[in-house]
Chain A
Amino acid sequence: MYKYDEIDQRLIDERVTQYYDQTRRYLAGELSEDEFRPLRLQNGLYIQRQAPMLRIAVPYGMLSSKQLRKLGDIAKKYDKGYGHFSTRQNLQLNWPKLEDVPEILAELATVEMHAIQTSGNCIRNITTDQFAGVAPDEIVDPRVIAEIVRQWSTLHPEFALLPRKFKIAVSGARYDRAVAQIHDIGMEFYKDNNNKVAIKIWVGGGLGRTPILGTVIREHLEWQHALTYCEAIIRVYNLHGRRDNTYKARIKILVKTLGIEEFKRQVEEEWSHLKNAPNTISESELARVSKHFEAMPYEALSAHNAIFDAAIASNPAFATWVKRSVRAHKVPGYRAVTLSLKPHGKAPGNATTEQMYVVADLADQYSFGELRVSHEQNLILADIKLSDLFAVWEKAHASGLATPNIGLLTDIICCPGGDFCSLANAKSIPIATAIQMQFDHLDYLYDIGDIELNISGCMNACGHHHIGHIGILGVDKDGSEWYQVSIGGSQGNNASLGSVIGPSFSADEMPSVVQKLIDVYIQERTPEEHFIDTVRRLGVAPFKAHVYADKSTTKLGVPYE
Chain B
Amino acid sequence: MSNLITLNNGIATISENEWTIVKLPTSQVKERKQAGKVVLFKLTGEETVTQEQIATTEIPASGQIIVPLTVFIARKAELQERLTGNQIGVWVDTHEVLEDLINNVSDLNSLPIIAIHVERFADGRIFSLGTLLRTRYGFKNELRAFGDVLRDQLYFLKRSGYNSYIIRTDRSAEQAIASLNDFTQPYQGAVDEPRPVFKRYNRVST
Q: Which residues of A contact B (CB under 8 A)?
A: 3, 5, 7, 10-11, 14-15, 18, 22, 31, 35, 38-39, 121, 151-163, 227, 235, 238-244, 254, 257-258, 273, 277-279, 281-282, 284-285, 288-289, 291-292
Contact = CB atoms under 8 A, between A and B. Distances in A.
A242 B41 contact: yes
B206 A157 contact: no
B68 to A, nearest CB: 19
Interface string B52-95: 00000000000000000000000000000000000000000000
Contact of B41 (A11, A159, A161, A240): A240
A163 B128 CA distance: 12
B182 A160 contact: no
B122 A278 contact: no
Nearest to B152: A39
Contacts of A152: 187-188, 196
11 contacts: A18-B179, A38-B122, A227-B188, A238-B125, A257-B40, A273-B135, A278-B189, A278-B196, A282-B198, A291-B205, A292-B205
**Chain B binding surface, main DSSP class:** loop
Contacts of A18: 179, 182-183
Contact of B124 (A160, A281, A289): A160
B194 interface: yes
B151 to A, nearest CB: 9
B48 interface: no
Contacts of A121: 122, 124
Contacts of B124: 121, 158-163, 238
Contact of A278 (B38, B155, B183, B199): B199
Nearest to B189: A278
B196 A7 contact: no
A379 B186 CA distance: 32
Interface string B190-202: 1100111111010
B36 interface: yes
A281 B199 CA distance: 9
B17 interface: no
A353 to B, nearest CB: 30
Contact of B190 (A35, A157, A238, A257): A157
B186 to A, nearest CB: 6
A278 B191 CA distance: 11
Contacts of A281: 198
B53 to A, nearest CB: 21
A322 B40 CA distance: 54
B195 A244 contact: no
Nearest to A17: B182
Contacts of B45: 244
Contact of A157 (B43, B156, B205): B156
Q: Which 6 A-B pairs have the closest CB atoms?
A: A161-B124, A157-B159, A285-B198, A157-B156, A291-B205, A151-B187
A292 B204 CA distance: 11
A151 B188 contact: yes
B188 A10 contact: no
A121 B120 CA distance: 14
B16 interface: no
A109 B184 CA distance: 17
B34 interface: no
A239 B44 contact: no
Contacts of B194: 277-278
Contact of B203 (A5, A163, A254): A5
B121 interface: yes
A380 B190 CA distance: 37
| Residue of B37, B124, B184 with highest tally of chain A CB at under 10 A | B124
A227 B45 CA distance: 34
B34 to A, nearest CB: 12
Contacts of B203: 5, 7, 285, 288
Contact of B197 (A7, A39, A254): A7
B199 A240 contact: no
Given A152-B188, A156-B188, A158-B131, 20 more contacts: A5-B203, A5-B205, A7-B197, A11-B185, A14-B182, A14-B183, A18-B179, A31-B152, A151-B197, A155-B156, A157-B160, A158-B127, A159-B124, A161-B124, A227-B188, A238-B127, A242-B41, A243-B44, A244-B43, A288-B203
B204 A154 contact: no
A38 B121 CA distance: 10
A35 B187 contact: no
Contacts of B186: 11, 155, 157
A545 to B, nearest CB: 41
A273 B132 CA distance: 10
Interface in B19-63: 36-38, 40-41, 43-45
A155 B157 CA distance: 12
B114 to A, nearest CB: 16
Nearest to A231: B188
Interface string B145-164: 00000101101111110000
A162 B197 CA distance: 23
